[in-house]
Structure 1
């Protein structure tokens, strides 16, 4: 099958419009975000959100019947490359995590009542959500080890467990909780998903976990990672999202596209850092010439350009394969872009900081914040080592072991001479 990801002129106009809006209207908000607070930020972006909706680009990841455009992963990837240049841009376009992923889950597996109660208000910005799966006691890269339990009690389910890194958990109106409903089932059929209202008795938010990206625990209402204890949390039967035992299946529908969007957003961050690197290189003088004349800096530029180009092609190809052959067919490509893209993101930002010296290390530029953000890329959505292992296993399935008999095995040269003995004899005789 031939493959390409050419962009139609009409869609390219959308991308150009997005790029200008994000650069001219969203980037400046970054410098005053801490002063605005979350409520001020919402007021600041409300006019921008209206413009996005008028353009028809709001929540574009959703199917048309829910107000999205039904775009495939290639187009969504190109959009996320632009949105990735600012941590604030996704909120302007109605696809900020985790609400964007949760809206996809609700669109895929939610009942009509669940969509009315949660999805539509979520898309309208009237509700906020959290995805509560990761646990401090189990390996995050192996969700088959989850310990949180949901037990049937009459017509209700009772949930008990301990979660953390539930993004938005401390400010969410509702949480999507992954819990084991059948511990004796096959590993990927043990867990189910539940919608839990945040004010349900027994939902205890312990704290917002401080991280390298957000060192202070109290960093406002944007991007927190909550630790939560669920203690005898009772929810009705209709809180079950999808069917019993379908938690992993539903999560995979969320994670495949999500990893493509991550990788494309990383390219957006990388490009912004790369532009800063190049501008600095042609502007800063040291030891008799601009930095751009130094071989080490030229290597930084060349390596960064090549790595970003490779990562972009890999990601768009993974997106194209998902569009044309489905998520399962693109599993290897998605795993590759996850660990390769994370490394490119880190390395490009690191070089940009090095070229800027003390300025790059300071908070006067966004590079240091990008650097802290980049470190997490090697962890979330599965540690890089897990994705490398997954790629290697799938690649090696295409190879058969070579039988090595106990007797003497001819060398390649001996085998070749035996095969072409007649020809060699003829050539020798002619000589």
Structure 2
């Protein structure tokens, strides 16, 4: 009873992450304590369909299977008290390992694909070899007649979800009803949804550590499970039914259906053949078609209410992005988050670089898209110094992008390569103290050509990274001291080493009294007759605005990505305090005003995340220019807690006031509306 109360309390106190996945109907949460990790499964709120969401069955079957050594998570407790969190729930231990969402297993060798599929089918055979009568599952399932019940159940499901008549589905339903197998009396424990993405594999070995999602489990014909597992072999490899559940035909290393059937039969000690194999494959495909029809119905209802066009895959990561994100999460958990109170960025940097988690922001170096990096950067936002651990810190990310896109080979050798190695740091000097720099055409810092050198004079502030001991190079936005024909051709960008005579660090700047020293602080810098070689100019005189547009798109987006993670961290702190602190006889979260704060924060963060992912997707698919408005959408954010708020507020000073971003959004929206109106004429 004491253990049950402890876990009920943990649910309320700990930060919960919803694990959204296609086809998963019972809400699932990850719970982490100081020394252990758990997973909580609960019934959805509200009125439920009869017979659906029977999480008590999941708990019972997993508990029984764990007791006989079958690979399932250890179920710890089941809570029937709906007053705790609003529904019944159960808690199981978290199993750490690999989950492959794509059945084609990208990112592993052909030999490992073979081994993983063999391990999966051997696990299925092990399940079907268990004696149900010894599992203490009295009354679990209806036994014989499984195939007849399945055909009836999924026919009803399909007809309830279909928007229109599909003759092929009606014919298949009739054919299945007329061709039920003669051996439908065989009974074993069946999973009901056995496929690769419902398995947790060992982190490095081809071994199944746990079988998940027992919601559809029952007793019945075991060959139905095997046929469902083999089903992706029977549709085209490019075809996707749910999420990344595409066909596997022709994928190197994945065994053929005949080979998998042979392994299965050998493990069970039965004849190497499947009577009425066509029926079982057809029934599996019919079941999947019914599920797909239901999901299509739900997706149609949801997507028709969205005002903003989004990717049909809801901004999913690439397979490589998924792998890197998981690696980053594990690295953060082991090496970064435990040391937040004392910055160990330099020590962790060596570990991150050795792990291959380095320069993740730059597609040319990491092979990741902006959308991939959006998810990763959010994760790094949970700790102030973690971007530096992965050499993904501001302002170096934007500066490295500038050098990568616009630098000469010599400039790259001198400054980009050391920056990519993490040997030096950089600074971006744009905003000025004496003018309204939100209008960049006001800038007064000047550039004079003197033979084979340029001379720079002026003042800059909110220049980040200046106080870093590794700081070596500045990128300075300057005004060309000649009369030009157009206002956006007045500026240039030039590389100025910090040790150049005439570069003066005046003072650090603060926000709310805080010295923003996370990445070397923000400084006021004066340039007094600073003389640098003409070869230090970037791209050419008068091309500063062109460079700025190339830098500010991804650069600002990186800030937004990290800020979303920062907001999640702030909300976590808010929830912890609201759950621990008591006032007027109640926990803070039980006071309606605090509960509303939490809800409003969750809504705002979720909105910001979607805006950020949409901007990243637009950058990947349409380029910087097309993504300008989307980037400004997601850049307009606000957060809480003194240090966190000061950090976020700094972004909204150093990178331009809110009003300027809002005005830009309005102008871009007016332009888009005008174009739409003209297109209708």
1:388-427 paired onto structure 2 within 5 Å: 388-399=662-673
1:331 and 2:331 are equivalent in the alignment: no
Moved more, 47-56 or 252-261: 47-56
Label 1:45 to 1:2 Cα distance change in 2 as closer, same or farther (>3 A): closer
Encode CA deviations 1:175-218: one digit per residue, 9 max, x unaligned. Answer: 11111125422221111111112221222222223333634xxx
Tell me if the contact between 2:321 and 2:373 (Cα under 8 Å) persists in the aligned partners. no
Q: Is the contact between residue 163 and residue 227 of structure 1 (CA under 8 Å) also seen in structure 2?
A: yes
- Output the TM-score relative to the length of structure 1: 0.78
CA displacement, residues 35-88 of structure 1 (integer Å, 9 cap, x when unaligned): xxxxxxxxx434422332233320122243xxx213221111111101111110
Bigger CA radius of gyration: 2
Q: Is the 8 A contact 2:345 2:385 kept in 1?
A: no
2:659 to 382, 385, 390: 385
3-state DSSP of counterpart to 1:207: strand
Q: Distance in 2 between matches of 1:221 and 1:394?
A: 34
Selected match of 1:14 from 320, 324, 334: 324
Distance 1:9 1:179 in 2: 42
Task: Give the Cα separation in 2 of the matches to 1:98 and 1:327.
Answer: 18
TM-score with structure 2 setting the length:
0.50
Q: Any unmatched runs of 5+ in structure 1?
A: 34-43, 350-366, 401-431
Q: Which of 585, 590, 607 is the matching residue for 1:293?
A: 590
* Structure with more contact order per residue of length (Cα contacts < 8 Å, sep ≥ 6): 1
Q: Residue 137 of structure 1 aligns to a residue in which SS?
A: coil
Indicate the residue corresponding to 1:163 in structure 2.
460
CA contact (8 A) 1:264 1:315 kept: yes
Q: Which moved more, 1:229-238 or 1:11-20?
A: 11-20
Tell whether the 8 Å contact from 1:61 to 1:70 is kept in structure 2 after alignment. Answer: no
CA distance in 1, matches of 2:517, 2:672: 50
* SS in structure 2 of the partner of residue 377 of structure 1: helix
The reply on whether 1:376 has 2:650 as its aligned counterpart is yes
5 Å-filtered alignment, 1:117-136, equals 117-136=414-433
Match of 1:49 among 349, 354, 367: 349
Taking a change above 3 Å as real, the CA distance of residues 336 and 161 of structure 1, as seen in their structure-2 partners, is: same
Residue 475 of structure 2 corresponds to 176
Distance in 2 (CA, whole Å) between partners of 1:333 and 1:25 is 34
Name the residue aligned to 2:384: 87
Deviation sequence 1:345-365 (CA, Å, 0-9, x none): x2xx2xxxxxxxxxxxxxxxx
Match of 2:542 among 236, 242, 245: 245
CA–CA separation in structure 2 for the residues paired with 1:158 and 1:179: 10
Distance 1:389 1:370, change over 3 A: same
Q: Does 1:313 align with 2:623?
A: no
Q: Are 1:31 and 2:341 an aligned pair?
A: yes
1:302-350 Cα distance to aligned partner (Å, 9 max, x none): 11111111111111011101110111111111111111xx23xx2xx2x
The within-5 A match list for 1:91-102 is 91-102=388-399
Bigger CA drift: 371-380 or 385-394? Answer: 371-380
Do 2:384 and 2:518's aligned partners in 1 also have CA atoms closer than 8 Å? no
1:134 aligns to what SS in structure 2?
A: coil
- The alignment partner of 1:194 has SS state of strand
C-alpha spacing 1:305/1:100, structure 2 compared with 1 (3 Å): same
CA RMSD of aligned residues (A): 2.2
Evaluate the alpha carbon distance shift between residue 297 and residue 121 of structure 1 in structure 2; reply closer, same or farther with a 3 A threshold.
same
Equivalent residue, structure 2, for 1:110: 407
The reply to whether residue 146 of structure 1 matches residue 443 of structure 2 is yes
CA contact 1:260–1:319 (8 Å) conserved in 2:
yes
- Structure 2: runs of 5+ lacking an equivalent: 1-308, 675-681
The separation in 1 between residues aligned to 2:446 and 2:557, in whole angstroms, is 31
C-alpha distance in structure 1 between counterparts of 2:510 and 2:345, whole Å: 26
What per-residue deviation string (whole Å, max 9, x for no partner) do you get for residues 77-131 of structure 1?
1111011111100110011111221111111111111111111112222222111
State whether structure 2 residue 499 is matched by structure 1 residue 202: no
- Count how many residue pairs are aligned between Structure 1 and Structure 2: 361
Q: Is residue 255–residue 381 contact of structure 1 (8 Å, CA) maintained in 2?
A: no
For 2:598 and 2:422, the matched residues in 1 are separated by 41
20-29 or 239-248, which moves further after superposition? 20-29
Q: For 1:377 and 1:240, locate their aligned partners in 2 and report how far apart those are by CA, in whole Å.
A: 27
Distance 1:6 1:381, change over 3 A: same
Match of 1:352 in 2: none
